[in-house]
Structure 1
Amino acid sequence: MESIEGIATYPMISLLIFFVFFTVLFWWVFTASKQHISEVSAIPLEDDNNPLN
C-alpha cells in the first residue's frame, strides 16, 4: 500500500462522504414535516387490500 501514489487521499474522501451523508440526514430529520413523518410511520399499519399485491 505504501508504494501506491496518493493512497492517503482515499480514507479522507471516505470520511468526507460519511460526514456529509450523515450531516444531510441529520438536517433532513429535523426539517421534515410532522405530517410526512406521520404518514410514513402509518404505512406498516395499513391494510393489505391493495389490488397491486
Structure 2
Amino acid sequence: MKFIKGHMESIDGVATYPMISLLIFFLFFSLLFWWVFTASKSHIKEMGELPLDNDNQ
C-alpha cells in the first residue's frame, strides 16, 4: 500500500482525476434522470411489455 501512495503522489495533477470522475458520474445520472422523466409513457409501457410479448417467436 505504501508503494501505491508514494507512486500516486509523484503524478502531477493527480487530484484532478477524482474531480473529473465525479463530474462524469454526475452528468451521466443527471441525463438519465432527465430522460426518465421526459420519456413518453407509451414508450415506457411498450418496453415494459416487451419481455411478455410472444409474437416475436
Would the TM-score normalized by the shorter structure come out above 0.5? Answer: yes
**Aligned-CA RMSD value:** 1.2
1:1-22 deviation line (CA, Å, top 9, x unaligned): 1110000110000000000000
Percent of matched pairs sharing the same residue: 72
Aligned length: 50
Q: Where has structure 1 moved over 6 Å in runs of 4 or more?
A: none
Higher helix share: 2
TM (normalized to structure 2)? Answer: 0.82
1:7 correspondence with 2:18? no
TM (normalized to structure 1)? Answer: 0.88
| Separation in structure 2 between the aligned mates of residue 9 and residue 34 of structure 1, nearest angstrom | 40
Larger radius of gyration: 2
